[in-house]
Structure 1
Amino acid sequence: MSDVPPTDTDSATTGQDNSYVVVARRYRPRSFDELVGQEHVGRALKNAIDTGRVGHAYLFTGARGVGKTSTARIFAKALNNPDGPSADPDAESDVAQAIDSGEDIDVIEIDGASNRGIDEIRSLRANVGVRPSRSRYKIYIIDEVHMLTSAAFNALLKTLEEPPEHVKFIFCTTDPEKMPITVLSRCQRFDFAPVEVPKIVKRLREIVTAENAQADDAALELVARRAAGSMRDSQSLLEQVLSFSDGNLTADQVHSMLGTADDERLHALAQAMSNRDAASALGQLDAAVDAGVDAGRLAEQLLGYFRDLMAVTVGCDSSLQRHTAASMHPELKALGDAWGLQTVLAVVAMIDQTLVRIRHSVYGRVLLESTVIQICNLPDLQSIADLAAAASSGKSLSATAAGSAEKKKLAPRPRPPQAQPPGQPVTAPVATAAAVVAPSAASSSPPPPAQPAPSAAPSATTATSDDAPQSHSANGPTATAQPPATATAGGTKLKLSHDTVQKIFQMALQGLQQMTTSIASMAQVQFVSESQIQLVFPADSSMSMKRMDLPEHRGAVCDALAEVVGHPVTLQLAAGAPSASKPHAPKPAPKATAKERMERMREIESYPWVQACVQTFQAEIVKVDAKPQ
């Protein structure tokens, strides 16, 4: 990409204030090949010129600073090239240089924000019929065209639809939705995309080299990410930080100048919140503010950080990180797996709401500190989602009650009940959801009937012992058949088979952590071989299957199975087929009396896993739905 040769007015080193031209103007693209990030637009316009398919009205839309007006000037130079329309116009011609400086008499640039009335459009219509002075076309470039009034648009319609053959219109806008559809239908529309960070960094590197300065790659990447896809904004920020530096720009200087926090500081703050260490999180926040980071800016950065954390948690690679360095992908992946997707989504919502409140308050730091403490005291929302999914699938949740005490021991600190602000996740609805699911789980899963004793001849020898389980039928106690066993060095072990896989799996789950047991209980167990079993998860439980694939869950289950059978056992995870038809909605139950509701409340409270939810999350049952019919 070539740069414009310095002139008397372009020199940045003359020492005269009135001779300095800002970076964004000095390094403005002058040809289609110099456009950054808009190659699709440049290719289309060049093909239109080469094939003679040039329209009479064009609409360039896109965010600020992505090259709309620059492209309009380049297109005007291509159409008014002295030797005829050309995709590669002569940049040294008088016409091209006059267009670049905005002084060409046949290329009229109009600011739609300050010339938005019907009188200005009437004056434009009166001059449309006048032929160009020295060029082939009279070209009108109207910037921010959406600012025109409705009367001005109506006055322009007829001229826009059938202009003289020597007139071309190029409209530029950041908000095409505000334009009348009658105007949009008369224009060829080109959408300018935000410029990607790598392309911005490459262009900034060229500018730094041309300015005889030095800059770290990390510093340029920070400037590019802060520009949010705007090439002009990135160049303005680069000029600002270059003035602040001593000729060698570093990432620390960028953060100090822009008042932002680095990725390591944001990651440390997120880890403190994940560990539920409110004191450490407030210390991290205080250190950031003391370093010059504004509370509102820090909240914006946290929102961007958790956006990337959310993307990484659902399985995206580093190319979709928009606000953090690609090198942080492994750290974000580990933090997302430990925190859980549901908790990350809740944090994103809380920070977004805090940002809205900060913009309308003078106590931004206090609001951010309050939000940080709330995040530190969030319940494990992923565990709640797993519990609800397990309850809806009808699986046994007895291990949930057994493991509640163990989970409270593993928690970094107890979470006392507290009032939650409106719009934030609360613990009471968690117990409500559990109570609502409880009736269906209890009523749809009756206790299994007693197994009938197998018929055997009187001469059959069936040995029983005091510690062998027995079942009683109407005809008396009968011995329960035991699965085949194999003798190993560590004692008698069970042999894995089609008949014993269910019992061996339940035995292996005993003693494991509550979370591992809850996730594993959601799957159906299938025998594959003596050294492998398959866990088939419901089609709507893909997140539970992903969590089961984590080493802390898969490894624990494999070790427990090996302890039961006496040899290594591997797990194969699979997703079940989606349901072919949706179940019919249950009929609405008749309204229960107050006495029946109280009895139902006591019945719900007696469920062990409901008690586990209440103890684990310090919740209370506030509502019980009618018992399903």
Structure 2
Amino acid sequence: MADTDTPTERSEGHVEAYQVVARRYRPQAFSELIGQEHVAKALTQAINSNRVGHAYLFTGARGVGKTSAARVLAKALNCVHGPTPTPCNECDVCLGIISGDDVDNIEIDAASNTGVDNIRDLRQNASVRASRCRYKIYIIDEVHMLSKSAFNALLKTLEEPPEHVKFIFATTEPEKIPITILSRCQRFDFAGIESSAIAKRLSQIANSENVEIDDEALAVLSIRAAGSMRDSQSLLEQLLASGGKKITASDVYTLLGVAPGERIGGLVESIVSRNAAAAIASLDEAIAGGADVGQLVDQLLGYFRDVMAIVVGCDTSQLRYVLPSQYEQTRDLGSRLGVHTVLAMIQVLDHTSSRMRGSLHTRTLAEMAVVRLAHLDDLDNLAAVVTELRTNTPAPGDAGVKKNISPPPVAAPPVSLASSLAPPPAPRAATPAAVDAPSNLGNRASHRVDPSAAPTRAAQVTLTDDSVKQAWKQVVANLGGMLEHQAEVARDVRLASDGSVVVTFAASDQFSRDMCDSPNNRPTLERALAQHLGRGVSLKFAIDQSVAVDTPTTAAAPSRPVSQRQLQSEVAERPFVAKAVELFAADPNRLRVVPPRQPRK
């Protein structure tokens, strides 16, 4: 029975093998390297000026033309009419390189030849001159897969190869190549190919295959390829294999498992209109139509990326994911949302995409993201309101509306140990009515109350001993750490005749007075008292000499020795030590008491 459906042609018992699109339309000259014009120009000039190096490194993403450029360079060097930047592609050498059968142009897959023994064989063979070509050329693909010992074995040969040997390396991960190898090569970085260039090349291939293809289908294929010509050609190969003389956008959407552009536009419109129910319904329709949930989230992420580009002022040439028919809608959405809202939406979608990779509930996560986007606040208007509150001026769009918004009263914050040890503030102004307002006592600058705001308040406040004592107790309650302990041990607080507050300590506690009277702590206490008293005051510290340190006049009885544990317990019960233990979350049982060192006689 004759096989009438076979895609191959039979002649004299020979079956002609079918070649895929990516192989049949591989670039055969430097002028055909789409998107890599900078590499083609540099290599052409090197050949014309007779400055061809002995080792080249081609780096870039998959499918951008690294191996194709290496083969074109090999043909340019070994063509019977060369060296020439335009190989003939007709001589035996060029045809042998195209088919991969030439014995002097060796292609090695480093992924399957990673060992040092393979490189030793290469070094031995490299010393033998080419049989029929001008140069013996080694093209090593994915060279980063070589082992460390293989790289070391290649170093010397790569630095000083025989005159008839050329090396061309190709890799997608140049960071894995030792620097000793990189320094011996001329490096060329292959860029990702623009979507417009990919679409143009796919259109040429479709015309050569006598197949009609829609412009929208070309746009979707070029966007999905993400800069890789080989990926786009593989997708086109799938569409060609499905039969038919016309490829439509619907065919592409079905093949890729993505939603059509108008469906994505409707979903985005529901989100921007804050209609969560309609957004979920649009998402369900897209999934029911064959779209993959992960692809839908990626499409939304790319769509809002282009909206962001429009918002910040980019032109249509900077758009990467939306179709040409969606440019106007993208511009309208950008003007309605604003840059801050769009950035927040992109962050939500990116977070959702990351979570979906390791979850079994991808659809629920996608629906949750859509609802969250539909309920997202208008962050740009919020920023305008914050600006209005700060400047007390109408926000854009509220011209003529004068709002008088007073800031809420600021409560006095507790004074901490860190604030008590902060650098002293600037000197107090000469006017007694200018009172330091409370501050965070940290790195923030303190605020000063304008005397003109309340010119008679200080004069109306009458201070008494009871009021200053009560204020001192409140200040002590807000203090923390070392200063709190020193303030607590004050024996007396009273109002002096000159209006100052005098705090008296016992003669046995000279350290407490010095601690409160330090240049760092006195301003802190004065500001805190001013907050509670309603006016500025100055502090004075005194020693009560009537309560002197007990000095025995008679011979004291020999004291009983105190154990280390008893001494540790007594020290741990002291207020200052107890506060330090609380601040640093220390274990009191692990305190170590070190007695003072006795002075030398």
Q: Is the pair's TM-score, using the shorter chain for normalization, greater than 0.5?
A: yes
In the alignment, which residue of structure 2 is the partner of 1:586? Answer: none
1:446-595 correspondence runs (5 A): none
Change over 3 Å in CA distance of 1:390–1:87 after alignment to 2: same
- Give ranges in structure 2 of 5+ residues lacking alignment: 1-5, 404-439, 455-522, 533-601
Shift of 1:38: 1.1
Deviations 1:139-197 (A, max 9, x none): 11111111112221111111111111111000001111111111111111111111111
Cα distance in 2 for partners of 1:119, 1:130 equals 18
What is the distance in 2 between the residues matched to 1:198 and 1:345?
27
Distance 2:524 2:118 in 1: 70
In structure 1, give the amino acid aligned to 2:250: D
Asked whether the 8 Å contact 1:245–1:253 carries over to 2, the reply is: no
Aligned-partner SS, 2:167: strand
Q: Do residues 258 (structure 1) and 256 (structure 2) align?
A: yes
Q: Distance in 1 between matches of 2:41 and 2:31?
A: 9
Q: Equivalents in 1 of 2:449, 2:162: separation in Å?
A: 80
Matched, 1:130 2:128: yes
Which of 8, 11, 14 is 2:9 aligned to?
A: 14
For residue 191 of structure 1, the aligned residue among 189, 192, 197 is: 189
Q: Secondary structure at the match of 2:184?
A: coil
Partner in structure 1 of residue 332 of structure 2? 334
The one of 279, 302, 322 aligned to 2:300: 302
User: Alignment length, in residue pairs?
Assistant: 411
Of 165, 171, 174 in structure 1, the residue corresponding to residue 172 of structure 2 is 174
How far apart are residue 246 of structure 1 and its match? 2.0
1:276, CA displacement in angstroms? Answer: 1.1
CA distance in structure 1 between the partners assigned to 2:60 and 2:216 by the alignment: 27
CA distance in 1 between counterparts of 2:105 and 2:75 reads 9
Contact 2:217 2:248 in 1 (8 A): yes
Q: Which residue of structure 2 lines up, in the alignment, with residue 34 of structure 1?
A: 32
Paired residues for 1:7-406 under 5 Å: 13-14=8-9, 19-244=17-242, 246-393=244-391, 395=393
Gap change, CA 1:197 and 1:220, over 3 Å in 2? same
What do residues 435-470 of structure 1 show as CA deviations (whole Å, max 9, x unaligned)? x9xxx9xx79989989xxxxxxxxxxxxxxxxxxxx
Structure 1 segments of 4+ aligned residues over 6 angstroms from their partners? 15-18, 396-400, 443-450, 589-593
Secondary structure of the structure 2 residue equivalent to 1:354: helix
Q: Distance in 1 between the 2:320 and 2:201 partners?
A: 18
Instruction: Please give the secondary structure, in 2, of the residue aligned with 1:120.
Output: helix
Aligned partner of residue 19 in structure 1, secondary structure: coil
State the TM-score, normalized to the length of structure 2. 0.64
- Secondary structure of 2:230 counterpart: helix
**Taking structure 1 as reference, are residues 115 and 50 closer, same or farther at Cα in structure 2, changes over 3 Å only?**
same
For 1:294 and 1:227, how far apart are their aligned partners in 2? 17
Q: What's the offset of the Cα at 1:206?
A: 1.1
AA matched with 2:96:
A
* Code of the aligned partner of 1:349: Q
Conservation of the 8 A alpha-carbon contact between 1:244 and 1:257? no
**CA–CA separation in structure 2 for the residues paired with 1:444 and 1:49:** 76
Structure 1 stretch displaced more, 16-25 or 190-199: 16-25
SS in structure 2 opposite 1:357? Answer: helix
Q: Is the 8 A contact 1:12 1:19 kept in 2?
A: no
Give the Cα separation in 2 of the matches to 1:228 and 1:386: 38
Alpha-carbon deviations, 1:375-409, whole Å to 9, x = none?
11111111222223334446468989x999xxxxx
Q: Distance in 1 between matches of 2:252 and 2:362?
A: 23
**Aligned AA for 2:185?**
C
User: SS of the counterpart of 2:303?
Assistant: helix
Secondary structure, counterpart of 1:171 in structure 2: strand
Change (3 A) 1:590 1:196: farther
Aligned match of 1:518: none
Question: Do the aligned residues in 1 keep the contact of 2:8 with 2:16 (CA within 8 Å)?
Answer: no
Over residues 87-121 of structure 1, what are the superposed CA-to-partner deviations in whole Å (9 max), with x where a residue is unaligned?
11121111111111111111111111111122211
CA offset digits 1:458-500 (Å, max 9, x no partner):
xxxxxxxxxxxxxxxxxxxxxxxxxxxxxxxxxxxxxxxxxxx
Deviations 1:42-73 (A, max 9, x none): 11111111110000000101110010000100
| Residue 125 of structure 1, CA deviation | 1.4
Root mean square deviation, CA, Å: 3.1
1:169 partner SS: strand
In structure 2, what is the Cα distance between the partners aligned to 1:403 and 1:143? 70
For residues 298 and 448 of structure 1, do their structure 2 counterparts lie closer, same or farther at Cα, with a shift above 3 Å needed?
farther
SS at match of 2:285: helix
Counterpart of 2:9 in structure 1: which amino acid?
T
The structure-2 alpha-carbon separation of the partners of 1:274 and 1:164, relative to structure 1 and needing over 3 Å to count, comes to same
Whether the 8 Å contact between 1:106 and 1:134 is mirrored in structure 2 is yes
Write the distance in 2 (CA, Å) between the matches of 1:313 and 1:118. 55
Cα deviation for residue 303 of structure 1 reads 0.9
In 2, the alpha carbon distance for the partners of 1:54 and 1:183 equals 18
1:284: Cα distance to partner?
Answer: 0.3
The CA deviation string for residues 19-57 of structure 1, in whole angstroms up to 9 with x for no partner, is 211110011111112211111111111111111000000
Structure 1 unaligned regions, length at least 5? 1-10, 405-435, 451-588, 598-629
Change (3 A) 1:180 1:12: farther
TM-score, scaled relative to structure 1:
0.61
Name the SS for the 1:293 alignment partner.
coil
| TM-aligned CA deviation for residue 326 of structure 1 | 3.1
Q: Alpha carbons of 1:275 and 1:124: their partners in 2 closer, same or farther (altered >3 Å)?
A: same
User: How far 1:133 moved relative to its partner?
Assistant: 1.1
- Equivalent residue for 1:613? none
> In the superposition, relative to structure 1, how do residues 87 and 444 fare at CA in structure 2: closer, same or farther (>3 Å)?
farther
Structure 2 counterpart of 1:26, which letter?
R
Q: Do the aligned partners of 1:312 and 1:329 also contact (CA within 8 Å) in 2?
A: no
CA distance in 2, matches of 1:52, 1:229: 33
The alpha-carbon distance between structure 1 residues 165 and 286, as it changes in their structure 2 partners (threshold 3 A), is: same
Alpha-carbon separation, structure 1, partners of 2:391 and 2:184:
57
Which whole-Å CA distance do the structure 1 matches of 2:345 and 2:325 have between them?
A: 23
Mapped partners of 1:397, 1:382: distance in 2: 11
Residues 1:166 and 1:334: Cα distance change in structure 2 (over 3 Å)? same
Aligned AA (1:81): C
Q: 1:310 deviation in Å? A: 0.7
**Kept after mapping to 2: 8 A contact 1:394/1:445:** no
> Percent of pairs identical after alignment?
52
SS at match of 2:52: coil
Query: Is the 2:393–2:402 contact (alpha carbons within 8 Å) kept by the matching residues of 1?
Result: no
Q: Distance in 1 between matches of 2:452 and 2:209?
A: 81
Question: Helix, strand or coil: the match of 1:60?
Answer: strand
Mapped to 1, the partners of 2:238 and 2:211 lie a distance apart of: 13
